[in-house]
Amino acid sequence: MTEKAAVRVLKRAKATHIMIANAKGGVGKTTLTTNLASQLSRIAPVGVMDLDPQASSSFWLQLRGKRDPQILSLNSKEFDRGQVTRSWLAHQVSQRVNYVICDTPAGLQSPKLDQLLKDTDILLIPVAPSQIDIHATAGFVKSLLLNPQYRARPVRLGVVMNRVKRNTLSFQKLEKFLSSLNIPVVGLLRDTQSYLRAVEEGMGINELRSFAEEDRKGWSQIIQWIRHIEKSREVEALERKHALKTIEAGTTQLLDTH
């Protein structure tokens, strides 16, 4: 098998799990979830797991219907009732999609957060430019960094600035706060009615005819950051596989000589 073929197998073997989370409600988790799903569905099959009791992402999927590219709902009543394990569900998901995007409820904390972190590869934190949102996000990031599951298996963190209006005092405060976290700002979503129009049609903003260039640039940054992390994971997986083969060959040779 060539190296290129091996990479394809590795990508299919495990879907990239992206969690959208912030303990504060109303910061745009569902907006980020649905539009990210729409963007990534242009690249590979995508599934959305809606854990928010409000079920806004699930409603968006219903509105979308069979529109191409189709986006799967990955909600599992059996998993919610404890009838199947997390590892079984993760395996089933990986056979169907390349990306899993998880929309989470406000107030997310342990033990539910711990469970989700076990399968998460990327955690995107949407932040809105208000003092209340900034304060709540600071508390969420602090609790996340101190979380035992996160410390045992850190995931890649990225911040998405939502409902941004440049050259405003609130935007400047948000920039200052985010620079103090040492977490990359991977994209800026401007304050526009286009997101409302898109969700009402079960679409992403990128599927609107009026997809503005400024919005295109913001989403391009987010997708490029995610793809860069994916490539890094693939290289790391190949390096681990090579290291294991080297160890296996060395131990086999050692045993054969005795």
Q: Whole-model pTM? A: 0.81
Weakly modelled stretches of the chain, pLDDT under 50: 1-11
> What pLDDT does 79 receive?
58
With a CB cutoff of 8 Å and minimum separation 6, the contacts of 65 are 202
Give pLDDT, residue 34.
96
C-alpha to C-alpha distance for 149 and 109, rounded to whole angstroms: 12
Domain residue ranges in the chain: 14-232
The per-residue pLDDT for 251 is: 58
Q: Residue 134 corresponds to which tokens in the numbers above?
A: 């900034």
Cβ neighbours around 210 below 10 Å, total:
10
Write the CB contacts of 10 (distance below 8 Å, at least 6 apart in sequence).
Answer: 234, 237, 238
- What are the angstrom distances between the C-alpha of 100 and each of 5, 17, 91? 22, 5, 12
Task: Report pLDDT digits (tens) over 201-241.
Answer: 999 999 999 898 989 999 999 999 999 998 876 655 555 55
The predicted structure's pLDDT at residue 119: 86
Q: What is the pLDDT of residue 76?
A: 60
Query: Angle between the 213-256 and 29-40 helix axes, to the nearest 10 degrees?
Result: 70
DSSP states of 153-210: S--EEEEEEEEE-TTSHHHHHHHHHHHHHT--EEEEEE--THHHHHHHTT--GGGSTT
Look-up of token digits 């990327």: 122
Looking at domain 14-232, its CATH architecture is: 3-Layer(aba) Sandwich (3.40)
